[in-house]
Structure 1
Amino acid sequence: MLDLASTVTQTRFGELVGVTQPTVSDLCTRGILREGASVAEWLRAYCDRLREVAAGRLGRESGLDLVQERAALAREQREGQAIKNAVARKEYAPIGLLADVLGMASSAVVDRFDQLEGALRKVAPDLPDAAKTTVLQVIADARNAWISETAAIVSDAVDAMGNADTDETDDDANPAPSPAPQPTT
């Protein structure tokens, strides 16, 4: 039986409350536990300290603020769940996949544009060369604008993601993927 009015060693107190002797020593060094105090006083001081830490009122001296840590964890869990929900609704995809899909779509459009000259010769062999040249020039300009705008959008999205990774204070730093640009004619 332990006499609560007596003193106890750091090792024995650590065994009693379930911590290591170095932890008890640290509590003594920081003045939380007074050397030479009774077991009852150490238990009261230790329990008071636990209540203060659990309430989030202590812990800042070690660089840990329990309330802020819990809030950060909750925010990360909420953001993770939001991403999972967006993926399930097919509203979100990795930037690499979006870039690949956009590239394939652009390639398909460019292939169709390249077939236009032959199709014009078949369908309208009497079309004047000036008209054909004008149509082909407008299509070439639209194709070039499509490609440059697509490249700019992908580049901007990648830059924004890079900035979001370095900016930890902005919660809304990750932009939503934007739709593919529409070709101008």
Structure 2
Amino acid sequence: MSTPQPAGIGITHNAASNLLGLPPADLERLVNAGHIRRNDKNSYSVPVLVQDYIAHIQSKAQGNETHPKQADVAAHLDISDRTVRELEAKLPVPDDYTLSAFRVAYLRHLREIAAGRSGNGGLDLAGERAALAKVQRERIEMQNAVTRRELAPVILIEQVLAKAGSKVASILDAIPRMIRRRVAALSADDLKLIAEEIARARNIAAAIRIEDLNEDHTDADDDQPIADDPDD
């Protein structure tokens, strides 16, 4: 299944296979099996590519034989968590349903809607069409957010932060040696203090996670630099 994207957005098949660490032939098999979407034969949207591959790995690890989380079902079917909860009440699936059983029930449910039948339980056709329109609207809104670069998979963002943190750490680690060469008047204690402060800043940066961005800085006092010596 292809997801059209605006011109100029996307990476080639070889670049996509390198990003995922897969041989190009294996990536082609995943596309042909419907696990990964692409814009056209030689163009992939990076956020969609990563999202689909993560969903494929999760599905493979679960074996589709254990009861999945609502978030896993939502990612697998490209719908919202709320829609999953609504479908759990409508679809003829047991409480301990598997991912494959839910998918089959969902597809049959969509066929009933497309055929104009209410299905088991006398579901209202107009209401089902409205629900389907809502799902489609939510999907389009997410795709538009990805296109505007307002939305990206968390794992991709964390990889970017990790790489940036690694580069910053190497720069910080070099500062004490540079200061030692250029400022001969500094004592060993001065250099030790500088190194300790740099290490503290580096450790704080390395510990940052996506969820930390929404937290209040209640420990702000702990992050303040050491005050100047009053005798200086």
Q: TM-score normalised by the shorter chain: which range applies? A: 0.3 to 0.5
TM-score, normalization by structure 1: 0.47
TM, length-normalised to structure 2: 0.38
Return the index of the structure with the highest Cα Rg: 1
